[in-house]
A and B are shown apart, each in its own frame.
Chain A
Amino acid sequence: DTGVSQDPRHKITKRGQNVTFRCDPISEHNRLYWYRQTLGQGPEFLTYFQNEAQLEKSRLLSDRFSAERPKGSFSTLEIQRTEQGDSAMYLCASSFSPGGNYGYTFGSGTRLTVV
């Protein structure tokens, strides 16, 4: 296991298009998180899963955003009808529940640019 993998690393899309990102967490971890980060800011929480259940969603997560984690393994984050304000780095992280002792392991992120 080489850590948390995210794909693609970079995505440029036209406004109004749909995009989907994938995250493969560390296999032993049962929690998976999505964060969004803009330049000069810290990561902002979007949503998290424990196994396959999506347990919490941020108010930042509009109805254009949807996340899934089928079978409690990899996760996808889809953004429909992208807007320029969606341009950001989308980070995925995984951890042992409840995650306090060892921190989160983050992937390298997917940088989205909406033109």
Chain B
Amino acid sequence: SQKIEQNSEALNIQEGKTATLTCNYTNYSPAYLQWYRQDPGRGPVFLLLIRENEKEKRKERLKVTFDTTLKQSLFHITASQPADSATYLCALNAGNMLTFGGGTRLMVKP
């Protein structure tokens, strides 16, 4: 069956450290993968997109990698701040819409 798996346990890190979140998928062949941020009671907000032929994409303190052999994407936030605390969702295209993972909650402590 098709699955998109993100660590359901919250990730707690200290301010200033790098947070690394994982997204693994099975039985998909996505042309691209996206990452979103979601705050409590709000809709997801688009952060980054990476295509199947790209290994890495950066935007300010964010970096995403995409390994189609391992069927995995890693999402990094460098120099993390308490304001980065949120749930982060990965999503990949499955047909004509995005399919989302369950999200990982990130807590950055001062």
- Using a CB–CB cutoff of 8 Å, the interface residues on chain A facing chain B are 4, 33, 35, 40-45, 48, 55-56, 91, 93, 98-109, 111
- Using a CB–CB cutoff of 8 Å, the interface residues on chain B facing chain A are 4, 6, 8, 31-32, 34, 36, 41-47, 49, 89, 91, 93, 95-103
Determine the main DSSP class of B at the interface with A: strand
Q: Which 7 A-B pairs have the closest CB atoms?
A: A103-B46, A106-B43, A42-B100, A42-B102, A43-B100, A45-B97, A106-B44
- Report A112 CB to chain B, min CB distance, Å: 14
Take A42-B103, A43-B44 as given contacts and tell me if A103 and B97 are in contact as well, using a CB distance cutoff of 8 Å.
no
B102 touches A41 (CB 8 A): yes
Chain A residues with CB below 8 A from B8, complex form: 40
Take A45-B98, A56-B95 as given contacts and tell me if A103 and B34 are in contact as well, using a CB distance cutoff of 8 Å.
yes
